Amino acid sequence: MNPEAPVPPGDHPAPMQIGKTRFVWGSRTYVMGVINATPDSFSGDGIVDPTAAARQAIAMVGAGADIIDIGAESTRPDFAPIDADEEWDRLSLVIGAVRRAVRDTPITVDTTKASVATRAIAAGADAVNDVTGLQGDPDMAAAVAQAGVPVVIMHNQRGREFGGDVIEDIRNGLRRGIALAEAAGVKRDAIILDPGFGFGWGPVQNYNLLRRLGELRDLGRPLLVGTSRKTFIGYVVDRPAPQRVWGTAATVALAIQQGVDIVRVHDVEEMVQVARVSDAVVRGVLP
């Protein structure tokens, strides 16, 4: 498939193996549950105790999560960066506990550092989720390629000048990430794309992105979106992060209508219901 050509409705990327699970894109929406192994999570749900993290993972899988995403460094707008050793100190026990608790569920490690990604994969992670789109650590693309695991490439607008069209800025950023991945030896069929809601965008741009999200399907790769509890939702509903569940639900339903493949969420039980009903409408998928 020509990655620059539009993807016709109903035409989806080839299935992808992540850990023990085969993901058939277009068959339904997959739900990724978030575990933040950090004390400064923007959404107020940070968990640093490995036993508590394992319990949360079990609950998420029981509620219908298809993937568990674990990160140990906050990426909120005002976050304080930590070095790789501190990040791994937070992450190592949590990822081990979660891996033992949910043996068959794919785990993605949310990190921007190649050394952390490599250690996490050795500890049981099945894929890498990089919010810099492989552009934060020059060794990350090679680390992913060497491990032979899938990667989520996100566009991050922070520090970049707005070009006037949110979709074009994101499309160009994602293309840079894809190019870095392929140059390092990552296969295109192992790439998932995330447009980066909230990362450098204001409310107007975020809602414009949600409205036009389907245009990014022309890149020919599965789309993951992470709108859960984010500030642009709070801008409209005027609620703190933990109380943005139903605002999040609206964004999840609208994203599914635009053809996304994975939704990354904090409130798994509620968003699984949203995804299933949305799939019944959009994809005609019924139990």
Phi, psi of 202 (to 5 degrees): -90, 175
**How far apart, in whole angstroms, are the C-alpha atoms of residue 51 and residue 30?**
26
Q: Is 264 a catalytic residue?
A: yes
Q: What is the pLDDT along the chain (287 residues), one digit of tens a residue?
A: 333 334 444 589 999 999 999 999 999 999 999 999 887 554 445 677 899 999 999 999 999 999 999 999 877 666 667 899 999 999 999 999 999 999 999 999 999 999 999 999 999 999 999 999 999 999 999 999 999 999 999 999 988 999 999 999 999 999 999 999 999 999 999 999 999 999 999 999 999 999 999 999 999 999 999 999 999 999 999 999 999 999 999 999 999 999 999 999 999 999 999 999 999 999 999 87
Count CB atoms within 10 A of the CB of residue 64: 16
How many angstroms separate the CA atoms of 140 and 186, rounded?
A: 11
Q: In 3-state terms, what secondary structure has residue 70?
A: strand
276 is catalytic: no
Catalytic residue from among 229, 264, 276, 283:
264
pTM > 0.85: yes or no: yes
Helix pair angle (203-212, 245-257), 10° resolution = 40
Tokens encoding 19: 């850990």
Full set of structural domains in the chain with CATH: 25-281 (3.20.20.20)
State the number of CA atoms in the 13 A half-sphere of 152 facing the CB: 30
Helix, strand, or coil (residue 112) = coil
Of 99, 130, 98, 96, residue with least CA distance to 114: 130
**Do residues 146 and 188 make contact, with C-beta atoms less than 8 angstroms apart?**
no
Residue among 211, 230, 239, 283 flagged as catalytic: 230
